[in-house]
Amino acid sequence: MDFGLTADQQMLAETARQVLSVEAPPRTVRRIADDPQGFSPELNRKIAEQGWFGLLVPESHGGLGLGMLDAAVILAELGRSLAPVPFLSSGVLATSLLLAAGSTPQKKAWLPRLASGEAFATVAWLEESERLDATGIALRARRARDRLRLSGAKRFVVDAQQADLLLVAVRTGSGTGPAGVTLVLVPRDTPGVSVVPLPSIDRTRRFFEVSFDDVAIAPSQVLGAEGKAWRHLEALLDVASVAIAAESQGGAERALEMAVEYSKVREQFGRPVGSFQAVKHMAAECVALVEPSRSLVWYAAWAQQEIPKDAARAASMAKARLSDVYSRVANVAVQMHGGIGFTWEHDMHFWFKRAKQSETWFGEPAWHRERVARASGW
Amino acid sequence: MDLSFSKEDEEYRREVRAWLRKNLPKRADDDEGGELTVADPERIARAKAWQRKLFDAGYVAIGWPKEHGGQGAGIVRQAILNEEMVLARAPAPIGMMGVQMLGPTLIALGTPEQKERFLPPILTADELWCQGYSEPGSGSDLASLKTRAEVDGDFFVVNGQKVWTSTAQFADWMFCLVRTDPQAPKHKGISYLLIDMRSPGITVRPLVQMTGQAGFNEVFFDNVRVPRKNLVGRLNEGWLVANATLSHERNMLASTTRTQQLMSDLLRLAKRRSRHGVSVLRDPVARQRLADLQIRVESMKYHSLKQLSDGIHGRSAGIGASVNKLVTTELNHDICAAALEILGSHAGLSRTSPHVEDRGVWPIDWMFTLGMIIGGGTSQIQKNIIAERGLGMPRGA
């Protein structure tokens, strides 16, 4: 029994912080945020050199073969730096889904390329209804001889502009329940696929609408068994929740640090504003939110690997709590900066916006609390 | 990260569970929440007997070194024992002031004679301790305390007054901060004394709390003679000793065991009550509130496991004790407030009222937990500590 990170994980965190401070300092993040495409192949390459994109990929497929807690360590550092790299979308979400649902040839075809950062993938799940249960998967795949034909649209597909491969959740059976949900692999350059940006407040993470206009899918493109993919998506919801929670933990810590540093140098009434109790208490209240939540994230990440029966409850606890904590801390951090915190020129708003985007994505806190209630047998 | 238990530890858990099942006292009808009061010597006797029983079974202060009567137990055993106590809804030992605050201080800073004399009866509850810190003019500004101790041969002569002294009405001893050098800067003229509560010149006057219980006291010292050998640490270095104890107190007040017990009581209440024709657990608003509390409780549970692990592996605890005190006391109060909302008009009913739920403990605990936010360093003082010592924000204003 040891509740904490291993020496290797601590080293991973330190290395990640060091690498990101060199490769993705705030001026780089800002440059990418201003870029119409919203990503940097050069930065992606640097991150690929670290091997992070293959973190969850087994060694037999060219990855590092590590687990969700290791991924959470990297995600926390990415959340701190806001480096706009497709780690969450490709290295965590798409990779987890391929690992869970893919056939051996599918894994062989894609995992080594994803692990090396030579290719990226993303999951296309949400639709207009934004429902996170099986009914939310309404995009129909019609059968036409040995092909499936897709028509319809997916929303909030993260990093779709830089993804080579889309993992699309579609409905192949009749009805609206778990049976009949199928995952298909669609290369983004397939004729009939179009990707339209959904510009949002968070310019460090780009979302897209992906439309399918009678796109033909061969049997080899069906991920795992047709009509039986819902359980993989349900598990992916837990992975996504933990991942976003881990990022949020890192982001909240960084926002608070910036605010505290600023309060030590900004002077009013002839002394640093951080010497006033009103300001100290704002910061201390944030510490009281941030410190205990780290343990919750670690537990939730660990549960994904080691405690399957508590994985869903733990993931939703972490997502609900970290969503609230990050948004609150980012809000206070802006206020601790005063007027400068409200400007475009200062970096603070990037964290403030990421917090809200993360809070609302993959289930807002109230939805996750209800899921915790159900998982607790209430 | 390793949350697994060895075979031996699983065996230990089974032992604890079986022992508790067999020996747990039936929850008494007169358990009214809040603190023990002087009005009820029978309850005190029962509580002492319970601690003695726990001690004989090896379940008190298991983290203390063996040479001092503990088990030298690691974090795993401590965590297992805590969890099982929560599950069994077992009452905490009555002598927690001694077990969690004075004991660790003496083990670290006491003389061999002091350890030998005072540690054993702390464990068995043969001697109960109270803490003499706050004074009428010295609350949050504790270091301004004025109770005077003057050296007279082999004795200190103590004059002054303490206040908010919990359990002084039945404690046998007090660990007490006194001013031994009025000329020195305020932190540097304080000493830490162990005072026999039966000494001539001590008067204890109970103060009735808002709960209606006489849970704490005023203690007056009129030329009370204390042997010099009862000085802990060096003369005029009592502030350092006190700080060691204060961090123990913050941990004790923040014990997540108590928080988890309160939460499980709240869930039991929610399961059997309805409001406005809807059972509480089917009301979406109540579910949100309960889930939020549950998440905060669990997050503190894992956080305390992390802190225990950090302690064992020599990772710095930093300002962890202040964060625990701040978060857990407020969480406890929020849990009680949620119970009152569930109870509706029944919320305020006293123990003696018809139709009362849970023997009327909820309104008492709701008040008591507010007191805990103030006691042991107010939430505002904890925030100052977190900001100044944890975040390095400048002192001042």
Query: For residue B165, what is the domain's CATH number?
Result: 2.40.110.10
Residues B68, B157, single domain; the answer is no
Least confident of A68-72, A311-315, B1-5, B146-150: B1-5
Token pair for B94: 């009555």
Q: Count the neighbouring beta carbons within 10 Å of the beta carbon of residue A325.
A: 28
Strands A121-124 and A165-171: parallel
Residues A353, A276, single domain; the answer is yes
pLDDT of residue B32: 59
Q: How far apart are CA A232 and CA A243, in angstroms?
A: 16
Give yes or no for a contact between A3 and B3, defined as CB atoms under 8 angstroms apart. Answer: yes
pLDDT of residue B348: 96
Amino acid at B310: D
The domain total for chain B is 3
Exposed/middle/buried for B190, CB within 10 Å: 0-12, 13-18, 19+? buried
Query: Across residues B290-303, what is the average pLDDT?
Result: 96
What is the chain B residue with the closest CA to A369? B291
Give yes or no for a contact between A249 and A193, defined as CB atoms under 8 angstroms apart. Answer: no
Q: How confident is the model at residue B79 (pLDDT cuts 50, 70, 90)?
A: confident
Q: Where are the beta strands (DSSP E) in A104-229?
A: 121-124, 141-144, 147-158, 165-171, 181-187, 193-197, 207-217, 222-223
- Name the residue among A175, A324, A316, A183 with its Cα closest to residue A249: A324
Least confident of A167-181, B20-34, B321-335: B20-34
What is the chain B residue with the closest CA to A257? B391
Q: Do B394 and A279 touch (CB under 8 A)?
A: no
Q: Is A309 within a domain?
A: yes
Q: Is B2 within a domain?
A: no
Give yes or no for a contact between B278 and A360, defined as CB atoms under 8 angstroms apart. Answer: no
Q: How confident is the model at residue B322 (pLDDT cuts 50, 70, 90)?
A: confident
Query: Across residues A295-310, what is the average pLDDT?
Result: 97
| Nearest CB neighbour to B298, from listed A5, A271, A317 | A317
Residues B259, B377, single domain; the answer is yes
Q: Where are the alpha helices (DSSP H) in chain A?
A: 7-23, 26-34, 41-49, 68-81, 95-101, 104-116, 230-265, 277-306, 311-336, 348-360, 365-375
Distance of CA B45 to the CA centre of its chain: 19
Residues B226, B259, single domain; the answer is no
Note down the domain range covering A148: 123-228
Q: Is A241 within a domain?
A: yes
Residues B266, B364, single domain; the answer is yes
Q: How confident is the model at residue B74 (pLDDT cuts 50, 70, 90)?
A: confident
Token pair for A40: 């940097």
Residues B222, B266, single domain; the answer is no
Q: Is A2 within a domain?
A: no
pLDDT of residue B49: 94
Q: Virtual CA dihedral for A282, A286, A288, A293, nearest 10 degrees?
A: 170
Q: What is the DSSP letter of B247?
A: H
Does residue B264 have a pLDDT over 70?
yes
Helix (H, G, I), strand (E, B), or coil: what is residue A185? strand
| Nearest CB neighbour to A274, from listed B291, B308, B394 | B394
Query: Across residues A62-91, what is the average pLDDT?
Result: 98
Give yes or no for a contact between A181 and A230, defined as CB atoms under 8 angstroms apart. Answer: yes
Contacts of A34 (CB under 8 A, 6+ apart): A203
Q: Do A280 and B288 touch (CB under 8 A)?
A: no
Strand partners, A212: A152, A193
Q: Do A272 and B394 touch (CB under 8 A)?
A: yes
Q: Is A30 within a domain?
A: yes
Residues A156, A241, single domain; the answer is no
pLDDT tens across B85-140, in order?
A: 888 888 888 998 999 889 999 999 999 999 999 999 999 999 999 999 999 999 99
Last residue of a domain, which of A202, A228, A254? A228
CATH of the domain at A161: 2.40.110.10
Q: Is B273 within a domain?
A: yes
Residue the block writes with tokens 């009820």: B40
Residues B55, B153, single domain; the answer is no
| Nearest CB neighbour to B299, from listed A69, A296, A306 | A296
Residues B369, B292, single domain; the answer is yes
Q: How far apart are CA B367 and CA B374, in angstroms?
A: 11
Q: Do B298 and A6 touch (CB under 8 A)?
A: no
Q: What percent of chain B lies above the pLDDT cut of 70?
A: 93
Left, alpha or beta for B34 (phi > 0: left; psi -120 to 50: alpha)? left
Q: How far apart are CA B185 and CA B187, in angstroms?
A: 6
Residues within 8 A of A (CB atoms), B 276-295 only: 281, 284, 287-288, 290-292, 294-295
Residues A239, A369, single domain; the answer is yes
Q: Is B25 within a domain?
A: yes
φ/ψ of residue A187, rounded to 5 = -60, 140
Last residue of a domain, which of A169, A194, A228? A228
Q: With helix as H, strand as E and coil as C, how does A230-286 read?
A: HHHHHHHHHHHHHHHHHHHHHHHHHHHHHHHHHHHHCEECCEEHHHCHHHHHHHHHH
Residues A263, A278, single domain; the answer is yes
Residues A322, A240, single domain; the answer is yes
pLDDT tens across B174-185, in order?
A: 999 999 999 999
Residues A21, A71, single domain; the answer is yes
Chain B residues within 8 A of A279 when measuring between CB atoms: 393
Strand partners, B130: B174
Q: Is A1 within a domain?
A: no
Does residue B2 have a pLDDT over 80?
yes
Residues A108, A136, single domain; the answer is no
DSSP-assigned letters across all residues of A2-16: B-S--HHHHHHHHHH
Q: What percent of chain A lies above the pLDDT cut of 70?
A: 100
Residues A251, A357, single domain; the answer is yes
Residues B290, B215, single domain; the answer is no
pLDDT of residue B36: 61
Q: With helix as H, strand as E and coil as C, how does A108-127 read?
A: HHHHHHHHHCCCCEEEECCC
Residues A222, A139, single domain; the answer is yes
Query: Across residues A54-66, what is the average pLDDT?
Result: 98
Chain B: closest CA distance from residue A227 (Å): 33
CATH of the domain at A257: 1.20.140.10
Last residue of a domain, which of A94, A118, A142? A118
DSSP-assigned letters across all residues of B13-46: HHHHHHHHHHHPPPPPTT--SS---TT-HHHHHH
Mean pLDDT, chain A, whole residue set: 97
pLDDT of residue A335: 98
The domain total for chain A is 3
- Interface A–B counts its CB contacts (< 8 A) at 161
CATH of the domain at B268: 1.20.140.10
pLDDT tens across B343-391, in order?
A: 999 999 999 999 999 999 999 999 999 999 999 889 999 999 999 999 9
pLDDT of residue B82: 83
Does residue A350 have a pLDDT over 70?
yes
HSE-up (13 A, CA, CB side) for residue B147: 29
Query: Across residues B48-74, what is the average pLDDT?
Result: 93
pLDDT of residue B317: 67
Q: How confident is the model at residue B252 (pLDDT cuts 50, 70, 90)?
A: low
ipTM: 0.96
Q: Is A275 within a domain?
A: yes
Q: Where are the beta strands (DSSP E) in chain B?
A: 129-132, 148-152, 155-162, 173-179, 190-196, 202-207, 216-227, 231-232, 274-275, 278-279
What does the angle CA A213 – CA A358 – CA A296 come to, to the nearest 5 degrees?
A: 130
Residues B259, B365, single domain; the answer is yes
- The one catalytic residue in B42, B249, B357, B388 is B249
Residues A243, A152, single domain; the answer is no
pLDDT of residue B223: 98
Strands A271-272 and A222-223: unpaired
Left, alpha or beta for B18 (phi > 0: left; psi -120 to 50: alpha)? alpha
pLDDT of residue B214: 84
Residues B221, B267, single domain; the answer is no
Kindly state whether B388 is in contact with chain A, defined as any CB-CB distance less than 8 angstroms: yes
Q: What percent of chain B lies above the pLDDT cut of 90?
A: 73
Helix (H, G, I), strand (E, B), or coil: what is residue B58? coil
Residues A223, A239, single domain; the answer is no
| B146-162 CB burial, b ≥16 within 10 A, e <16 | ebebeeeeebbbbbbbb
Does residue B256 have a pLDDT over 90?
no
Q: Where are the alpha helices (DSSP H) in B208-319?
A: 238-253, 256-272, 284-312
Note down the domain range covering B263: 254-390
Contacts of A9 (CB under 8 A, 6+ apart): A69, A70, A73, B1
First to last CA, chain B: 42
Chain A residues within 8 A of B387 when measuring between CB atoms: 274, 280-281, 283-284, 287
Residues B262, B386, single domain; the answer is yes
Which of B83, B272, B292, B295 should one mutate to test binding to chain A, selecting the residue with the greatest count of A CBs within 10 A? B295
Residues A257, A328, single domain; the answer is yes
Q: How far apart are CA B230 and CA B225, in angstroms?
A: 11
Q: How far apart are CA A300 and CA A68, in angstroms?
A: 9
Q: Do A276 and B387 touch (CB under 8 A)?
A: no
Q: Is B397 within a domain?
A: no
| Nearest CB neighbour to B291, from listed A291, A306, A373 | A373
Residues B226, B272, single domain; the answer is no
Chain A residues within 8 A of B292 when measuring between CB atoms: 320, 369
Specify whether B10 is catalytic.
no
Q: Is B249 within a domain?
A: no
Token pair for A234: 């349900």
Query: Across residues B220-230, what is the average pLDDT?
Result: 98
